[in-house]
Copies of this chain bind each other. A is one copy, B any other.
Amino acid sequence: MNRIKDIAKKANVSAGTVDRVIHNRGGVSEKTRVKILKIIEENNYTVNPIASILASKKKFTIATLLPRATSNNDFWQSPKEGVIASADEIHSLGIDVLHFEFDQFRPESYIEAFYKLLESDPSAVLLAPVLHKETIEIIHLLDQKKIPYVTINAETEGLNNLSYIGQNSYKGGYLAGKLMNWVLPPNATILIVEIRKNIDNHKAITNRIKGFKAYFDEHKKKKSIQHITIDQLDNENFVNQSLATFLEEYPQTKGIFVPSSKAHHIAKSIQILKRKDIEIGGFDTTPQNIDFLKNEHIDFLISQKPYQQGYEGIKLLFNYLIHKKEPLKNYFLPIEIVLKENVDYH
């Protein structure tokens, strides 16, 4: 038996007093406080979290702020699923998780969702700061209210976030470089396809490209690396045209690196152009990407483990709120290589 009662008896005080000491609620003389702490120490007593949660009326709520998944194919579906799975596990432990979503291409919807989130007065927040500028502008409201927050997916500097959970984008690109080098013959030309213009917020993509190039630099593989940017991804003809034009100009192109989750668009065009000799590598195992991985028009994908970002993020906040467990500042998730041969166990 090692209950609050037992500690109390050993200290010749009541359970209430011990409780006050444990929770730093004051109203206890320094003398008895020290005595009780010593006895707690000696008996290495710890509160029974089960009883504690039951007795405590205070309900914790964690709010999440993530881009809305526009379809089941969307990248953002996965973090959401991870969040929900984690939330389910801790729901019975008195934690509620509220979801707030925004349109990642409409900054104003981000701000709007953020304010709604604030109104819910959460105990903690999980957010994906993909809109960098806006995040910097409003994040101080969380600091001000002393609401702890964890960021996922987008590494962002200058935040007082409790932790970041996600991938090291540079290393992800670097690994992509290695894989691309593996699958390509010597002296091939590589094309890097960027998708949107002026996306100041997608630092991750920039870092991936840096990492990708760094691999070739460091290994003295003198490959020609070209860039194009394709804006109108939804316009299939436009994509085909852009690629066809490029490939005419650079016939030695044997590899295409897509540093975003949109490799499947490129793979589709390459399929239409009947260029079986071109290897494609990209990021994120969305259903569409997986389709092209399976039919061998995409050679490799690198997963950011988005599900885990959501899952671990919620779990971390739970441990912080309930068990007062101080997390690390950064949790870099494994950089997972997904090929046709292992995608099914992914």
A residues whose Cβ falls under 8 Å from a Cβ of B: 46, 48-51, 53-54, 92-94, 167-168, 171, 174-175, 178, 182-183, 215, 332-337, 339, 341-342, 344-346
**Are the C-beta atoms of B337 and A342 separated by less than 8 Å?**
yes
What is the bound-complex CA distance between A79 and B215, given in angstroms?
34
Q: Chain B residues near A178 (CB, 8 Å)?
A: 339, 341
Q: Chain B residues near A182 (CB, 8 Å)?
A: 182-183
A-B contact pairs, 6 of them (CB 8 A): A50-B54, A50-B94, A178-B339, A332-B345, A334-B342, A335-B345
Q: Chain B residues near A215 (CB, 8 Å)?
A: 341
What is the bound-complex CA distance between A93 and B53, given in angstroms?
11
Chain B residue at minimal CB-CB distance from A94: B50
Nearest CB on B from A34, distance (A): 26
**Are the C-beta atoms of B48 and A92 separated by less than 8 Å?**
yes
Point out the residue from B50, B333, B345, B346 that lies within 8 Å of A93, measured CB to CB: B50
**Are the C-beta atoms of B51 and A339 separated by less than 8 Å?**
no
What is the bound-complex CA distance between A135 and B130, given in angstroms?
52
Chain B residue at minimal CB-CB distance from A323: B92
What is the bound-complex CA distance between A345 and B346, given in angstroms?
17
**Are the C-beta atoms of A92 and B50 separated by less than 8 Å?**
yes
**Are the C-beta atoms of A171 and B341 separated by less than 8 Å?**
yes
**Are the C-beta atoms of B337 and A168 separated by less than 8 Å?**
no
What is the bound-complex CA distance between A170 and B186, given in angstroms?
32
**Are the C-beta atoms of A342 and B50 separated by less than 8 Å?**
no
Query: Which of A93, A334, A336 has the most chain B CB atoms closer than 10 A to its own CB?
Result: A334
**Are the C-beta atoms of A342 and B54 separated by less than 8 Å?**
no
What is the bound-complex CA distance between A263 and B48, given in angstroms?
46
